[in-house]
Structure 1
Amino acid sequence: MKTLKATVLTSPPAWAVLERKLLDTLSEAALAVSAKYNYTDGMPTFVDDVDDVYESRAGRGLLYAMGGWDQLLPTALNEWNAVTRYFNDGLRNTKTRHPDDFAQLHREYYNLGQAFEWFHQGEGNQALYELGVADPTNPEHQNRATRFADMFTGDDPDVPNYDPEKRLLRSPFPSSVGPLHHAGQGWGKGNAADFANMLLRETSSGLRRVSLAPSIDNLEPDWFENPQRRDEVIALFDRLVLDGDTPTNLTATALVTHAFLHTGEERYRRWVLDYSEAWLERIRTNGGIVPDNVGPSGKIGEHRNGQWWGGLYGWNSNYAGDINFGGLTVAAECAVLLSGDMSYLDLLRSQLTMLLDNARQGDDGQLLIPGRYAEDGWTDFRPPRILEFAHLYHASMSSADRALIEQLRQGDKERDWNLAEPTPDRRLQSAEYPRFQYYDGQDPTWPEKILQAEHLYAQAFMETIRAENRDLQTLTQDNQWPPNPVVTKGLTQVTMGAPQTVYNGGLLRATVRHFDADKQRPGLPPDVAVLVDQLGETSVGMQFVNLSTNQTRTLMCQAGAFGEHEFGEVRYDTGDLGPLRDNPSLWLRENTPSPEQTSTRIDAPHFRVRLAPGMGMTLRAELRRFSQTPTYQNPTYA
């Protein structure tokens, strides 16, 4: 493996100081939450839906993998194991901490006790995927990855979620015990009306999740009061909503890709591609629009008289532009990652361009895209969000996909695209606007602004943590969501040159990733900061800085989140340290000479950068994208 030596003395740039400070602040904050809101076994005081408990501790593994403190890795694993023990029907203690607790896991994965669709499974799986990134050497991680994936690929005969002939998942609620086909099986309490009504009713804010159209256009609010009507609606719900596939299930491709990254087994790669291709075919069959309900025979709208809309979180709901697009984005990214074939991006691109083709302008000229589909066609027009466009562009880096974002910007009359604000890592996507501006040359101050914003976010939650004076018993009784000061999107953007991970079940995306060659672990070495300052279809630019005044650090740079890319030729700055060492005063007075350019070929997914104290390097690398087999396995440090 080639080693590049940094020979340019560098005054620490503001972004580098902020980056190192943020890594320390987030690490300290994560451990502070665990110390105050966890029992000694690692179990949080907060107990609700198991996906939410996992979610409340997400970010620790990824923060470690980016260069956070060493203690984060055992803390993240301990918390994940503690939550799993508590909720698993084969491991849990008989004593629960809350009256409404019940087993929500079977064989350590989601059962039908809470009936999680992939929006919530994906949300809870963040911490699981992060453990693969943080420590792929742990055999527990690989064993779980394959066991969980087999529940969805058809390789586990006891869990019939998948129909390999029809290439579909049999229910929007697949689980570790098979598909949910009857509302009475959900929630572990046997109340079919409660479960169905939770999805059928309009929320207090007027949102709806699913429709029974065309069988019932307007369901009466008290349908469950009359026993005959209740039975009729539940039977219809079981058939229309629970019997078949939906695009949300595409998020399962991340879990199966997770297994491939651990094992390299072809069967996992093939499943992701087969399932993605099935949905591409459904889009083509349906005239370019992804159908939101597919029956058990594979027919679009099978239980709805051929009507392609109305399914769970589908086009008639208020969530189509959010939840279903999460599945499309995740599957497109996973399929390209495993194949290098850019045509899989049409899963996502086709739907984004379709919405733009049906867009209109508001009174103020604001670009508006449809948010729902109903009997009269497209409706509920709203400003588009950048998140899915940002992921599409990062995957392809093509001028055509870049032009889609430029179309959004040109039509946006309401948002300040340069604003970097402190927000959590959830589906809020405001951080992607100023990121695009930076790489478009519109806002050179963005790295400092996003790092400052995330530091403020963490500090605000630390203030809450410091003020907490309740004991564990009171915290448990109150059962409130604990503060989570760990935000990783800014560091992902700045150090890896990628958009934030799709929150509800996406895998890490990165143009580059970094490892500490001295400590032989993932993440930036101590004192080292990195900025990805240029992105192109076949290139990447980076700046490296060692802030230490007395320690040499060796960083290993990887092409892609999982080594899926390959570096070609690299050009980097070099300087002559002789005059500096002979007479630093004269060297400073005579205006330090401009660095010279040196080039070399890497032709591999990794190279090292050795950074002496105070040294920096600006580097431009040729990048052959998606040319290598991706893997979780760490590079060879020797």
Structure 2
Amino acid sequence: GINPSNIGLEGSIGGECDGKWWGGAYGWAHTTITPHTGEPKSRCSCGRCIDGFGNALLLTGDTRYINPWRTTLDAINANTRIVDGVEMTPRMHGDDGWYEWMPGPYETGALEIYYWSMDPVDRDRIPETPWLSYLEGRAPDFPVEAIQEEIGQVRRKVQEMRSDTTTPDTRLSDNPNRFRPAAVDSLVQLAMGGPQPIVGRPLHTRLRYFDLQRHRPGLPEDVGALVDTITATETGVHLVNVNQLEPREVVVQAGTYGEHNWTSVSVDGAPPDAIDGTAFTVLLEPGTGAYLTLGTDRYVNQPSGAFPFV
């Protein structure tokens, strides 16, 4: 079934909206009129509930917690219709049924579901995306293109901010949001092996790095990382020290919060060595690098914010 957007205080579906599962603020039927244009605007935020399912998975390791959103995706896409030769699916539901039809399948949260499960059935719900194409070997230029695009985005946002002519007394509180220059999506995907982060969500990644010398999170100075393999049981990452004079030590943790476990490590294709833990340290001599293939046991540890060193 579909994840409802209203639950009554007594626990019944639609209990605060005359039994309508689609009711509620920012629910499946939340369409309002934009004051300055008079045009209707749909503002359903039901897709944000997937964050709760991800939190439950993170805390328990039980993938059954993501089933409710699987069924939601399938139920919505079961309403697909062809309009003028174009496949259309709804995004909203009100008293008269489905509306807000748009081209293509409803895919909100589909990437997260697949990332958490690594189930091929979940992969089938996702259309082609540059990041997945790269991980699956079909887009080798994606890392360079993605970084270049985000650097360009930073430049554009800063220029727009500097060119803005509004004054504090004439702008709304959220008007500056569009000028936010931070662009981290490709960095999370390519360096940490995680899907694009969304505001307010715990970070789900395959790897997290720590600077052993400075005792802080993040890659050490002069060290680069590129994740090119993510499967149900393996993670592949290139680590490089571009400093030509000094060595660097980097701690490689399994998951943002140590929720995963490393089971083996292979260096540059050599036979793997068995390990068992949430983190290990890599010494990179000046101007060197290595490709690590890491056996990965996912969502088996209680998440923790503790650093993996004393």
TM (norm. structure 1) is 0.44
For residue 332 of structure 1, report the CA deviation from its aligned partner.
Answer: 1.0
In structure 1, the residue corresponding to 2:30 is in which secondary structure?
Answer: coil
Task: Summarize the alignment of residues 349-388 of structure 1 with structure 2, pairs less than 5 Å apart.
Answer: 349-366=70-87, 368-382=88-102, 383-384=104-105, 386-388=107-109
Aligned position for 1:614: 287
What is the distance in 1 between the residues matched to 2:114 and 2:62?
A: 15
In structure 2, the residue corresponding to 1:481 is in which secondary structure?
Answer: helix
> Considering only CA atoms, is the larger Rg found in Structure 1 or Structure 2?
1
Aligned position for 1:568: 263
Aligned position for 1:443: 139
Cα contact 1:495–1:532 (8 A) shared by 2: yes
Change (3 A) 1:307 1:567: same
In structure 1, the residue corresponding to 2:24 is in which secondary structure?
Answer: coil
Cα contact 1:562–1:630 (8 A) shared by 2: yes
What is the distance in 1 between the residues matched to 2:107 and 2:95?
A: 28
Between structures 1 and 2, the one with greater strand share: 2
Task: Summarize the alignment of residues 349-498 of structure 1 with structure 2, pairs less than 5 Å apart.
Answer: 349-366=70-87, 368-382=88-102, 383-384=104-105, 386-405=107-126, 409=127, 433-464=129-160, 467=162, 476-477=168-169, 481=176, 483-498=179-194
Cα contact 2:17–2:24 (8 A) shared by 1: no
In structure 1, the residue corresponding to 2:45 is in which secondary structure?
Answer: helix
For residue 599 of structure 1, report the CA deviation from its aligned partner.
Answer: 2.3
For residue 562 of structure 1, report the CA deviation from its aligned partner.
Answer: 0.4
Aligned position for 2:37: none
Change (3 A) 1:621 1:316: same
What is the distance in 1 between the residues matched to 2:267 and 2:301?
A: 24
Aligned position for 1:626: 299
Aligned position for 2:201: 506
Cα contact 2:91–2:106 (8 A) shared by 1: no
AA of the residue aligned to 2:69: L
Task: Summarize the alignment of residues 208-607 of structure 1 with structure 2, pairs less than 5 Å apart.
Answer: 288-318=1-31, 322-327=44-49, 329-366=50-87, 368-382=88-102, 383-384=104-105, 386-405=107-126, 409=127, 433-464=129-160, 467=162, 476-477=168-169, 481=176, 483-503=179-199, 505-573=200-268, 597-607=270-280
What is the distance in 1 between the residues matched to 2:81 and 2:221?
A: 51
Cα contact 1:326–1:502 (8 A) shared by 2: no
**Percentage of pairs with the same residue:** 31
What is the distance in 2 between the residues matched to 1:571 and 1:633?
A: 26
* Structure 1 residues not aligned, in runs of 5+: 1-287, 410-416, 418-432, 574-595
Query: When the two structures are aligned, how many residues end up with a matched partner?
Result: 296
In structure 1, the residue corresponding to 2:224 is in which secondary structure?
Answer: strand
Between structures 1 and 2, the one with greater helix share: 1
**Root mean square deviation of aligned Cα:** 2.4
For residue 379 of structure 1, report the CA deviation from its aligned partner.
Answer: 2.5
Q: Which has the higher contact order (CA 8 A, sep 6+)?
A: 1
For residue 378 of structure 1, report the CA deviation from its aligned partner.
Answer: 2.1
What is the distance in 2 between the residues matched to 1:374 and 1:475?
A: 39
AA of the residue aligned to 1:379: Y
What is the distance in 2 between the residues matched to 1:389 and 1:369?
A: 15
What is the distance in 2 between the residues matched to 1:379 and 1:462?
A: 38
Change (3 A) 1:325 1:553: same
What is the distance in 2 between the residues matched to 1:313 and 1:387?
A: 15
AA of the residue aligned to 2:47: F
Q: Please list the CA deviations of residues 279-308 of structure 1 after superposition, one character each: whole Å capped at 9, or x if unmatched.
A: xxxxxxxxx222222222222233444232
Q: Please list the CA deviations of residues 482-523 of structure 1 after superposition, one character each: whole Å capped at 9, or x if unmatched.
A: 7321111111111111111223x2111111111111111000
Change (3 A) 1:306 1:478: closer
Change (3 A) 1:561 1:385: farther
For residue 363 of structure 1, report the CA deviation from its aligned partner.
Answer: 2.6
Q: Please list the CA deviations of residues 197-256 of structure 1 after superposition, one character each: whole Å capped at 9, or x if unmatched.
A: xxxxxxxxxxxxxxxxxxxxxxxxxxxxxxxxxxxxxxxxxxxxxxxxxxxxxxxxxxxx
